[in-house]
Chain A
Amino acid sequence: MAAANGEPGGQRIARWVREHGRALRGYVLALVRRPEAADDVVQEVFRRAWIARDRYQDQGHERAYLLRIADRLVVDRSRRLGLEIHVDDATWKQVEPASDDPEPGDAIAMVETSAELTAALERLSSTQKRVLLLRYFGDLTFEQIAETLGCPLNTALSHCRRGLIALRRLLPEEVG
């Protein structure tokens, strides 16, 4: 990662979290919708980045690298859990295991989840969400987004355009 050579491990971890933690958590939380799940994913992102720190050749795209790991983890998680990422909050509260009750802070966060964002995310396809969120939180180029999604550049551009049009239909009247 950047300045990895000679940078003590503790300092490197702190710098990663300070520079990229908030963006990573915002990206993951927008996709998984549950704060505790997002925290777990973010921690796993940093853990994997730490393990691979010697193999990573710094190219000045640290956040893109971390977001790529996060995106892969979210996709794997959604495949593994199946319905969880697709159900709405009310349904999730009904099927949520009793032993996994959220902390009071998490419950408040769940309540504070804006209806606008939920509606927008529900209107977007999974790929459109990922393209727009990668663009917003990571400022990734479309080439990087296409590489992250594993699709051609034109496909990534098309997803972006369609996602923007879907947002435009919903958000102007409700968010501003």
Chain B
Amino acid sequence: MNEELELSRDQLEAATTRASASTALDAEAAALGESFRAFGQTAERTAGEFDEAALIEQLQSTLLERSSLQVIACKSRGARSLWPLLLSGAIAASALIAAVRIAATWPTQPPQVVVSPSHQETEGPRALAPAIVKGSAPAEASVPEQAYLTWHDELDDEIIAAQSVLAGVAGKTTPLDGSLSSMDEQLEAMASDLSEGSL
């Protein structure tokens, strides 16, 4: 056999078919074709019996079971992964609502306290909630009392009033007034002595 035997592609294709070539081949190509088929048939015989049913059963049990397990795993993984998302979303929504409510109820001006008359008559210091808060009327009901607690002592008012009176009196006194009053007191004392005949 010539190692450099030239065979066209068509001849190679015809020689390497499982069935005998229907196209006309020269003797060399036909002989190569016979060798090819003998080789293939020997390989087939060597392969022997092939248990298709066993392989099908094995593949179906492994591949299909794995597919179903993967689907289940994906589903459970997806459900698990939603919980943190939902939880964080709920927390974020709660924080947002709380922030909005605080912003809506936050007073724009500091509260002014009006003390009711009944409170002025009570004795001792007391912590009081204001009777009327000006400036944020719609939100008054929801404001905690602690936000408006102020220190009110009636004694402080009295001290302040006494200080003002004393300041006024002190402002009117002069050194001349003091000497006249002392002289008047001395004259009154002499007059009483004369009338009693002691002089």
A interface residues, Cβ below 8 angstroms from B: 9-10, 13-14, 17-18, 21-22, 25-26, 29-30, 35, 38-39, 42-43, 46-47, 50, 109, 112-114, 116-117, 120, 132-133, 135-137, 139, 142, 157, 160-162, 164-165, 167-172, 175-176
Contacts and interface: CB of A to CB of B under 8 A. Distances in A.
B9 interface: yes
Counting from the closest, the 6 A-B pairs by CB-CB distance are A136-B40, A167-B35, A175-B38, A26-B47, A164-B32, A117-B42
B128 interface: no
Interface in B19-39: 31-32, 34-36, 38-39
A161 B5 contact: yes
B75 interface: no
A169 B2 CA distance: 10
B32 A168 contact: yes
A13 B63 contact: yes
B14 to A, nearest CB: 12
Contacts of B35: 164, 167-168, 170-172
B160 interface: no
A157 B9 contact: yes
A9 B63 CA distance: 9
Contacts, number: 131
Contacts of B44: 26
Given A17-B59, A114-B42, A172-B35, A161 B64 contact: no
B61 to A, nearest CB: 10
Nearest to A118: B46
Interface in B40-61: 40-48, 50, 52, 55-56, 58-60
A13 B1 contact: no
Nearest to A29: B47
Nearest to B2: A165
A35 B47 CA distance: 8
A169 B1 contact: yes
Contact of A42 (B42, B46, B55): B55
B3 interface: yes
Contacts of A17: 52, 55-56, 59
Given A136-B36, A164-B35, A168-B31, 13 more contacts: A17-B55, A21-B52, A21-B55, A26-B43, A30-B47, A38-B47, A43-B58, A46-B59, A132-B40, A135-B36, A142-B13, A168-B1, A168-B35
A43 B63 CA distance: 10
B4 to A, nearest CB: 9
17 contacts: A9-B64, A10-B60, A13-B59, A17-B52, A22-B47, A26-B43, A46-B63, A117-B39, A117-B42, A117-B46, A132-B40, A133-B40, A136-B16, A136-B39, A137-B43, A164-B12, A170-B35
Contacts of A172: 31, 34-35, 38
A160 B16 CA distance: 9
A162 B39 CA distance: 14
B51 to A, nearest CB: 9
